[in-house]
Amino acid sequence: MIKGKLKLSIALLSVCTLSYGQNNIKLTDTQTDITINKHIYGHFAEHLGRCIYDGFYVGEANDSIAHTAGVRNDVVDALKKLQIPNLRWPGGCFADTYHWKDGIGSKEGRPSIVNSWWGGVTEDNSFGTHDFLNMCELLETEPYLAGNVGSGEVQELADWVQYVNFAGKSPMSDLRRENGREEPWNVKFWGVGNEAWGCGGNMTAEYYSDIYRKYATFMADWDNSGGLYRIASGANSADYHWTETLMKNIPNHLMKGVALHHYAVINWNKKGSSTKFSDEEYFKTMKSAWFMNELVEKHSAIMDKYDPQAKVDLVVDEWGGWYEVEPETNPGFLYQQNTMRDAMIAGMTLNIFNNHAKRVKMANLAQTINVLQAVILTNGKDMIVTPTYHVMEMYKVHQDAQLIPIELHSDTYKYGEEEIPAISASASKDKQGRVHISVVNIDPKAKKKVSLDLGGIKAKHLTGRILTTNNLREHNTFEQPNTVLPKEYKDAKLKDNQLEIDIPAHSVIVLELI
């Protein structure tokens, strides 16, 4: 347990029950030196269901879908519009069964493998290291490679680092050149295992921390610049002992980030439909999503105890909503639809990350295409984007912007005897001096009036965008791909340094002040 009240210099968030019309936001200090790291807006691509095959990758021989080296051009274009900063691969649970040398060389000579974690399907390894890293260059994003610690040996991971990063002459760099790549990719982000407490080996925190030190030691940083960003397999949700053990046992020079995984789930045994959910199921989902705020604060407090200068980052490299799969789909493929409920999860969660940007430096939505809270769905030649995609696109204005701390007083959204804040928000100032404020109302039925005090900010011009629908369960389909779209927002009034905002039920708004 964490005793005492956690104090954050980046944001003061107080929540109380207020009457309608008394939701207040105040921008408190525009001089903070905290940056909202763009890597908070990262994504995740696992060999799971149709995320890689039929999602990103359709194969070089495909003549019915436009592609570059087998990677769908429409997917590349859509993700570039999001300005995705990083992409995590190949897992997930799959990472600790993946042997990277199976996925290099001529595609005809690559061995087939069985994906024992996700559906028991056979894969031909046609999408491997070169394919992924070259795709990241197409996407103009940084790769985040998850290393195999569960079933792989130290030498295997050390060889992978050398293969993709070493420019000189060595066995692995020579092998890379034989396979058609002269220059190294210089991959910065490396996960040292995944979910070591579960599918990554069912280890104890004490055992994994020792294993981590061993693997991380042999992941050579060739020029001793500290360029490798090693990320430890972190806690499952509220396992604070795990974080405490890693922070206590692993020296800072071996670890740049500690991971955290948390999904918004109604009940792990009965997750509910992605589209036909009840009001009670909606509340439980949002309560689980809001729990992320407590998790970030408590894990950060532990990290502060051992690392008061914040040299080690909190990396939430799996987050999102998790429901039952769509009817008549493979249960191991985790394919689900994406409604305005998911937009609420995305907006609220990103506000939490933004407000805790002193410690949270990286995060990865799970997952990019056709899996869980995806931003893209594909069906043969067709591709659509989801409500979550639109939130990520609206929020990209916060990437690498200066955090503006806020004070927030919110109505509560109640269901039965339980309640959570109805309003969440975050604010930033970009390099051009533009101020952006993102506000979310998760209440499914009640609109909110929000008073916003700009503090010392002087603004002459106000614009805004809103994502909302008449029905919380609305979503985009291949037949109707534009049901949920952002629109211009005009229901905000600026007078001096005060804003009055009318925000409809279940809505996400991003304002820009110049």
User: Do the beta carbons of residue 504 and residue 373 sit within 8 Å?
Assistant: no
Encoding tokens for residue 249? 């046992």
Instruction: Based on DSSP, count helices (H) and strands (E) in the chain, helices before strands.
Output: 9, 29
Catalytic, out of 195, 281, 297, 474: 195
Cα–Cα nearest to 353, from 62, 41, 31: 41
Position of tokens 């389909």?
A: 477
User: Do the beta carbons of residue 405 and residue 25 sit within 8 Å?
Assistant: no
For residues 85 and 77, what is the distance between their CA atoms, to the nearest angstrom? 14
Give the three-class secondary structure for 360: strand
Catalytic, out of 244, 318, 393, 474: 318
Give the three-class secondary structure for 152: coil
Estimate to the nearest angstrom the gap between the alpha carbon of 242 and the chain centroid: 21
Give me the residues paired with residue 425 across strands: 439
Give the three-class secondary structure for 432: coil
In a 10 Å sphere around its CB, with 0-12 CB exposed, 13-18 middle and 19+ buried, how is residue 493 labelled? exposed
For residues 372 and 338, what is the distance between their CA atoms, to the nearest angstrom? 8
For residues 356 and 188, what is the distance between their CA atoms, to the nearest angstrom? 23
User: Do the beta carbons of residue 422 and residue 412 sit within 8 Å?
Assistant: yes
For residues 101 and 94, what is the distance between their CA atoms, to the nearest angstrom? 15
Cα–Cα nearest to 286, from 345, 351, 372: 345
User: Do the beta carbons of residue 36 and residue 428 sit within 8 Å?
Assistant: yes
Encoding tokens for residue 20? 């309608």
Cα–Cα nearest to 120, from 300, 381, 332: 332
- Confirm whether 140 is a catalytic residue: no
User: Do the beta carbons of residue 425 and residue 499 sit within 8 Å?
Assistant: no
Encoding tokens for residue 484? 């949920």
For residues 45 and 86, what is the distance between their CA atoms, to the nearest angstrom? 10
User: Do the beta carbons of residue 401 and residue 428 sit within 8 Å?
Assistant: yes
User: Phi/psi of residue 429, each to 5°?
Assistant: -125, 125
Q: Which amino acid is at 294?
A: E
In a 10 Å sphere around its CB, with 0-12 CB exposed, 13-18 middle and 19+ buried, how is residue 143 labelled? buried
What DSSP character marks residue 97? G
- Confirm whether 418 is a catalytic residue: no
User: Do the beta carbons of residue 115 and residue 60 sit within 8 Å?
Assistant: no
List the catalytic residues: 195, 318
